[in-house]
């Protein structure tokens, strides 16, 4: 049987776990969106066009929706929703960071050639 102190500590751990998973999810989405925006900027300049990417409807809604679904799964199956949320982020975040760094380097090289 849990004591009230252990039950409170367990609740605090769940909140911290939930908030840290939300921060990881938001960071993953933000880096992935920034990589896509940088890629579009590079390809559109190479084609002589100026295009953009709008992240407004996607960025705040989809990560929060995913987080809510994970919280609902956690309610019935403890930690399953969190792990289903965290594992893809652990894979996507390094890949998106690498893409963003690659396109950012190409963008800086192009700017240095145009404006020495």
The rounded Cα 38 to chain-centroid distance in angstroms is 16
Task: Answer yes or no: is pLDDT of 15 > 90.
Answer: no
Q: What is the pTM of this model?
A: 0.76
Residue 13 has a pLDDT of 60
Q: Quote the crossing angle between the two packed helices 80-114 and 4-46, to the nearest 10°.
A: 30
Contacts of 37-41 with C-beta under 8 Å, sequence gap 24+, read 38/100, 38/103, 38/104, 38/107, 39/99, 39/103, 41/107
Domain ranges of the chain: 24-114
Q: On the CB side of 101, how many CA atoms lie within 13 Å of its CA?
A: 6
- Reported as a single tens digit per residue, the pLDDT across 69-116 is 988 998 898 888 888 888 999 999 999 999 999 999 998 888 888 887
């Amino acid at each position: 049987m849990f004591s009230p102190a252990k039950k409170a500590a367990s609740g605090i751990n769940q909140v911290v776990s939930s908030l840290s998973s939300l921060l990881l999810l938001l960071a993953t989405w933000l880096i992935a969106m920034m990589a896509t925006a940088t890629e579009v900027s590079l390809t559109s300049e190479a084609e002589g066009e100026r295009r953009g990417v709008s992240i407004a409807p996607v960025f705040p809604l989809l990560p929060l929706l995913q987080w809510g679904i994970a919280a609902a799964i956690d309610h019935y199956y403890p930690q399953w929703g969190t792990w289903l949320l965290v594992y893809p982020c652990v894979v996507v975040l390094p890949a998106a960071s690498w893409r963003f760094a690659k396109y950012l380097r190409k963008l800086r090289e192009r700017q240095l050639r145009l404006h020495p």
